[in-house]
Amino acid sequence: MKVLVIGNGGREHALAWKLNESPSVDKIYLAKGNGGTSSFCENVDIDPSDIEGLLKFALKEKIDFTVVGPEDPLCMGIVDKFRENGLKIFGPNKECAKFEKSKEFTKIFLEKYNIPTAKYLSFTDYDKAINSLDKFSYPLVVKADGLCLGKGVLICENKEEAVDALDKIFKERVFGSEGDKVVIEEFLTGEEASLLCLVSNNKLYPLERAKDHKQIYDGDKGPNTGGVGTYSPVKASDELAKNLREVCDKIEEGFDKENLNYSGILFIGFMIEDDKPKVLEFNVRFGDPETEVLMPRLDSDLFELLNKTVDGELKEEDIVWKDDYCLTVIMCSGGYPASYEKGKVIEGIEDTDEDIIIFHNGTKLDKELLTNGGRVLSVTALGKTLKEAREKAYENVEKIHFDGAYYRKDIGTK
């Protein structure tokens, strides 16, 4: 089988790395890939959002199976386009990708199917939005409806900040047309968590859980990032497990009743308090960095899982996990998530232990290996305990060097 993976990050590196283990997979292409993927894949210089270019390539190379990493091509309808052309592809169609493309679309669905979520109102009109602000208590959350690279959510401590947020979105149009609509919602307290599910023929098959670390500094301080460390598994209490399953059942019911045909990954973001989960959002693709710890722990053949998912034939017993813990520390460029420099030489990867897996988030190979993003490398270790995985990961992080390298020291210590 010839497989095409679309995307450039650590998530796609991890997916390709796991697909490469499958006896069914002969060759993997990555569009565009990065400095770490060219050692076992063929990097193809086509942008993940260039749907026509990707289609032309897949037809010409007779690609048997395509896996989509990021949300942009999914929301643009790459899955529909590939299928119309007789190509097999893993991911939700354009209609289902609306769960990520529009926060309002998800809120309407959640409310309709009685799935716990924050109370909300949505607006296309600035004055109406302003007039509604007195209906909420503070803090409240203002969200641009569309895709905003993780920057479209503004938590407002008082009315003044809320007015500022609405000005930014509606008047200054900082998110362009992605801010044509705004969701204003109640602020939830608790602990954030996520659940990734394979979705086959509208049925949800949860993967084992992973804990992300979003803030840049130790102790969960500082600004949010794309995620700078993660570990798995995370055990749920019986009560929480039951409540999570109940949410999944209601989502399945909603998919069926809406006559959707959901297939691919559903990433459910939760706020959990007293074992009661409330849905914050849906994403329609694998999480990054969650994927970097889930792939090393997965015992099953990833290609078989994804192929069965697309065929609507996945079964719970197909998904088998190793008992091991897995932990990733992400080495970042100094300054991230604000501005940072690229092009720093990365040294020391060859000195790391043989059983350490290094997924590249943002690197490029230009004679030397260079940094090429805010998140640079995911240094990943398996261990019999969380402590063992953590110690192995950190021992090896210390062997890798580049100018300005920064990483959190407390991943998996909480």
Ligand X SMILES: Nc1ncnc2c1ncn2[C@@H]1O[C@H](COP(=O)(O)OP(=O)(O)O)[C@@H](O)[C@H]1O
Asked whether the bond before 337 is cis by omega within 30 degrees of 0, the reply is: yes
Rg of the Cα atoms in the chain: 21
- Which C-beta is closer to ligand X: that of 157 or that of 311? 157
- Which one of the spans 48-56, 119-127, 266-274, 358-366 is the region binding Mg ion (CB under 5 A)? 266-274
3-state secondary structure of 181: coil
Minimum CB separation of residue 41 from ligand X in Å reads: 28
- Chain center to CA of 261: 21
> Which segment (61-69, 146-154, 240-248, 324-332) binds ligand X by CB under 6 A?
146-154
Question: Which stretch of DSSP H or E encloses residue 363?
Answer: strand 363-366
* Residue 187 interacting partner from ligand X, Mg ion, none (CB closer than 5 to 8 Å by kind): ligand X
Q: Is the peptide bond before 233 cis (omega within 30 degrees of 0)?
A: yes
Helix (H, G, I), strand (E, B) or coil at 205: strand
Q: Which does 58 bind (CB under 5 to 8 A by kind): ligand X, Mg ion, none?
A: none
* Cβ-based neighbour number of residue 62 at 10 Å: 8
Give the one residue of 48, 152, 229, 374 binding ligand X; rule: CB under 6 A: 152
Q: Work out which of 77, 116, 269, 404 binds ligand X, going by CB under 6 A.
A: 269
Q: Among residues 224 and 300, whose Cβ is nearest to Mg ion?
A: 224
Using the contact rule CB under 5 A, the part of the chain among 64-72, 119-127, 264-272, 387-395 near Mg ion is 264-272
Instruction: Supply the minimum distance, in Å, between the C-beta of residue 144 and ligand X.
Output: 9
Q: Does 156 bind ligand X (CB under 6 A)?
A: no
Q: Is the CB of residue 8 less than 8 Å from the CB of residue 345?
A: no
Query: In the Cβ-directed half-sphere of 387, how many Cα atoms lie within 13 Å?
Result: 0
Among 150, 176, 223, 348, binds ligand X (CB under 6 A): 150
CB of 287 to ligand X, least distance (A): 10
- Please state the length of the chain: 414
Write the single-letter amino acid at 78.
I
Work out how close the CB of 267 gets to Mg ion at its nearest, in angstroms, rounded to a whole number: 8
At 244, the amino acid letter reads L
d(CA 378, CA 324) in angstroms, rounded, equals: 18
Given 30, 188, 204, 379, the residue binding ligand X (CB under 6 A): 188
Q: How far is the CB of 285 from Mg ion (least distance, A)?
A: 12
Q: Which two tokens stand for residue 182?
A: 């705004």
Q: Residue count at the site for Mg ion (CB under 5 A)? A: 1
> What is d(CA 357, CA 201) in angstroms, rounded to the nearest whole number?
33
Q: Which stretch binds Mg ion (CB under 5 A): 269-277, 290-298, 311-319, 368-376?
A: 269-277
Query: Per-residue contact track with ligand X, 123 to 142, x per CB under 6 A?
Result: ------------------x-
Edge to edge, the sheet with strand 89-90 lists 42-44, 27-32, 2-7, 65-68, 89-90
Q: Which residues bind Mg ion (CB under 5 A)?
A: 269
Q: Which residues bind ligand X (CB under 6 A)?
A: 118, 141, 150, 152-153, 185, 187-188, 192, 269, 271, 280-281
